[in-house]
Amino acid sequence: MIKAGIVGGTGYTGVELLRLLATHPGVELAVITSRSEAGKAVADMFPNLRGRVSLPFSAPDSESLQACDVVFFATPNGTAMGMVPELLDAGVRVIDLAADFRLKDPALWQQWYGMAHTCPGLLAEAVYGLPEMNREALQQARLVACPGCYPTAVQLGFLPLLEQGLVDAGRLIADVKSGVSGAGRKAATGFLLAECSESLKAYAVAGHRHMPEIKQGLAVASGSAIGLVFVPHLAPMIRGIHATLYAILQETETDLQAVFEQRFAAEAFVDVMPFGSHPETRSVRGANVCRIALHRPPDSNMIVILSVIDNLVKGAAGQAVQNMNLMFGLKETSGLEAIALLP
């Protein structure tokens, strides 16, 4: 059994990790940390875990974490990089769900996250945890940087087109809506029910922290620099991301549906729907799945891609577990085969 620790077990991604790992056939939950809730039973805070998780929260402790095989960081940006070097030196594998190791350029990290990186020497080693792009590298990784939720939906949608040079990489548009849980578990006026229910708004139009991460990943797929307009929106729902992606075709004769179906044929967690479908966020709620559908506006050289995920699962905790499965040679779908919740 893999002994797993979670640093930061009280946020939305932390409790989602607990939900998935509690029934994972190859995992033993060993440590769940929270400075503010140390000593409190996990199931007292999250009653859905009663009978599944008997551990209490504990204060972060190097000794207990170093006894784990893998440690997940479900912490605010900037936390993991202070602890990761010591864990790696102790032979522990690390999966960071925050942004500490996603960007390869430490200056770019400081620009977007407002703090200096404390271990820039590890950025080159960290494997970007999008299995559909980096499966082989993940199997050998010590340190994995889980992608953000927006970058997961956007990159999976554009990936087949850029890999084959079918679209203009300099003129991509991503119009993306996210549920409120994407902002994290915190008390903030803008995320109160009365503030965000029955409303839709764009935010960070001038620049979102996920922009450089998306461009970095798409540039690898394309082999060239990326031009991207990325506009995130806050939608009046708890879970889910819906990405509407636009690209200009280089030529219009290729069977794009076949391109997507062939690219993702072996991917357990990417569902290419019939051409002209309209995937819904509710169809992936609670599941580690990205559903994709293609559309061609009439009399146009544009392709429109619809991509939906659950931001807390394929966009965070589920993808982290998928990465863990690859790192430890387990079946990639282990612990992740649950069907989405409807209604």
Task: Check whether the bond before 343 is cis (ω within 30° of 0).
Answer: yes
Question: Which one-letter amino acid corresponds to residue 295?
Answer: H
Name the token pair of 339. Answer: 């069907």
User: What is the DSSP annotation of 2-68?
Assistant: EEEEEE--SSHHHHHHHHHHTT-TTEEEEEEE-TTTTTSBHHHH-GGGTTT--PBPB---HHHHHTS
Q: Could you tell me the strand order of the sheet in which 241-248 lies?
A: 201-202, 228-234, 172-178, 241-248, 302-309, 290-295, 270-272
**Which tokens sit at 100?**
């500490």
Is 149 assigned a catalytic role?
A: yes
DSSP letter assigned to residue 314: I
Out of 68, 119, 146, 149, the active site residue is 149
| Cα within 13 Å of Cα(112), Cβ side | 20
Backbone angles phi, psi at 102, to 5 degrees: -75, -40
**Amino acid letter, residue 224:** S
Distance of CA 300 to the CA centre of its chain: 32
142: buried, middle or exposed (CB in 10 Å: 19+, 13-18, 0-12)? middle
For residues 308 and 47, give the distance between their C-alpha atoms in angstroms, rounded to a whole number. 28
CB 311 within 8 A of CB 178: yes
Q: Are 79 and 73 in contact, with CB atoms under 8 Å apart?
A: yes
Three-class SS state of 249: strand
Answer whether 184's CB lies under 8 Å from 97's CB. Answer: no
Q: Which residues are catalytic?
A: 149
